[in-house]
């Protein structure tokens, strides 16, 4: 299966900041200052947005690592829209940055703008999320998690939890934002594992946009339309945390009346896990900054880098969350 790259850039105002450099460049308007001219590496980074705790930690990691590496970072918040990210990439090309990196909002629709970057001789690095283009020459490498594997780990925990039981297990699923690689892949990986046993039934599955607000709202509708929910599988912690509020408001006990599996392992999710409100979390690390800066340096120096850099991750039970929480960085 092809990995996907998604982009989000809204038609509205782009939020741009220059970090570790002299700043002041708006990055969203065409024809800005040149990224070249001195020895300092200029990195243009188009982020998805600020939809979740994971994303906030990811942005912080990128900004801090760029500063440590002594790069000029031109950072654009795509506000969840592909057109904003495309616009940002075009501006990075105009500004002649040394390297472009981005985390695509959705998987498809990137070939044209990435060909423009390639023709301009500016290398591109995909971070966090992949794209579905068969043309791998459009980017130097993809650094991030294996989202299918994350979905599988969620499914495997469920299968083990209900081992030896024969009653139907009604599952509701909160999907990430439509078209995003983590939404597509986490759904596919989970479905692939649970399909072996017909007692597992996904009775409702809808997007919660990776946000707490939508997770809560969609869970409220699930609770009204589904009389007997055994399990919630949420594609990230934030949606799971929103759903917990809805479950408690409906007079049910999260983690007991409804078992909950999420992905990410950010601090708030880990706290809910330690408190028994979530039962299992599959980790997805947002701390991609240091590795990304290392890859940027190598690409700029013309070194060969691997086409795929996989993030190392684990899973957490409530006991493991209690142990890990005091040292959790995000
Ligand atoms: O692409 C990573 C995903 O995006 C995270 O799991 C989710 O929280 C975020 O919004």
Which fold is adopted by the domain 42-145+286-312? Rossmann fold (3.40.50)
Q: For residue 38, what pLDDT is reported?
A: 63
DSSP reduced 3-state for 86: helix
Question: What is the bridge-based pairing of β-strands 231-234 and 169-175?
Answer: parallel
Residue 102 in contact with ligand 1 by CB distance below 6 A: no
Average pLDDT, the chain: 90
| Residue 52 CA, ligand 1 centroid: distance in Å | 7
| Residue 325 CA, ligand 1 centroid: distance in Å | 20
Say how far apart CA 82 and CA 90 lie, in whole Å. Answer: 12
Which fold is adopted by the domain 147-284? Rossmann fold (3.40.50)
DSSP reduced 3-state for 265: coil
Asked which of 26-30, 150-154, 278-282 is least confident by mean pLDDT, the reply is 26-30
DSSP reduced 3-state for 193: helix
Residue with tokens 């999420």: 262
The yes-or-no verdict on residue 32 having pLDDT over 60 is: no
Tens-digit pLDDT profile for residues 209-234:
999 999 999 999 999 999 999 999 99
Mean pLDDT of 94-104: 98
Per CATH, 42-145+286-312 and 147-284 having the same topology is answered yes
DSSP E strands: which ranges in 53-123?
A: 72-77, 99-102
Residue 140 in contact with ligand 1 by CB distance below 6 A: no
| Residue 302 CA, ligand 1 centroid: distance in Å | 31
Residue with tokens 């760029």: 66
**Could you tell me if 145 and 285 are in contact, meaning their C-beta atoms sit under 8 angstroms apart?**
yes
| Residue 130 CA, ligand 1 centroid: distance in Å | 12
The yes-or-no verdict on residue 2 having pLDDT over 60 is: no
Residue 210 in contact with ligand 1 by CB distance below 6 A: yes
- Write down the domain spans for the chain: 42-145+286-312, 147-284
Q: For residue 39, what pLDDT is reported?
A: 84
Tens-digit pLDDT profile for residues 41-74:
999 999 999 999 999 999 999 999 999 999 999 9
Residue of 209, 236, 267 with the most ligand 1 atoms within 8 Å of its CB, for mutation: 236
């Amino acid at each position: 299966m092809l990995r996907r790259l998604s982009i989000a850039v809204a038609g509205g105002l782009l939020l741009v900041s220059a970090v570790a450099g002299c700043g002041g460049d708006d990055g969203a308007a065409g024809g800005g200052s040149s990224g070249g001219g001195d020895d300092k590496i200029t990195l243009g980074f188009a982020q998805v947005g600020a939809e979740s705790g994971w994303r906030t930690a990811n942005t912080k990691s990128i900004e801090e690592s760029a500063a440590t590496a002594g790069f000029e970072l031109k950072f654009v918040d795509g506000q969840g829209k592909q057109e904003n990210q495309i616009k940002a990439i075009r501006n990075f090309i105009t500004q002649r940055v040394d390297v472009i990196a981005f985390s695509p909002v959705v998987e498809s629709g990137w070939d044209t703008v990435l060909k423009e970057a390639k023709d301009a001789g500016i290398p591109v690095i995909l971070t966090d999320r992949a794209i579905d283009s068969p043309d791998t020459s459009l980017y130097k490498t993809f650094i991030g998690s294996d989202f299918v594997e994350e979905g599988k780990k969620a499914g495997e925990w469920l299968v083990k939890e209900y081992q030896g039981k024969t009653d139907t297990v009604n599952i509701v699923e909160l999907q990430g934002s439509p078209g995003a690689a983590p939404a597509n892949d986490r759904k596919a990986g989970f479905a692939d594992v649970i399909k072996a046993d017909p007692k597992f039934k996904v009775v409702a599955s809808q997007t919660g946009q990776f946000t707490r607000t939508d997770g809560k709202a969609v869970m409220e509708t699930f609770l009204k339309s589904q009389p007997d929910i055994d399990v919630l599988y949420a594609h990230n912690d934030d949606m799971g945390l929103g759903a917990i509020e809805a479950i408690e408001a409906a007079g049910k006990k999260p983690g007991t009346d409804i078992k909950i599996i999420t992905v990410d392992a950010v601090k708030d999710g880990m706290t809910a896990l330690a408190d028994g409100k979530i039962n299992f979390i599959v980790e997805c690390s947002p701390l991609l900054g240091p590795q990304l800066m290392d890859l940027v340096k190598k690409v700029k120096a013309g070194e060969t880098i691997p086409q795929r850099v996989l993030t190392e991750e684990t899973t957490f039970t409530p006991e493991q969350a209690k142990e890990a929480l005091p040292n959790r960085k995000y």
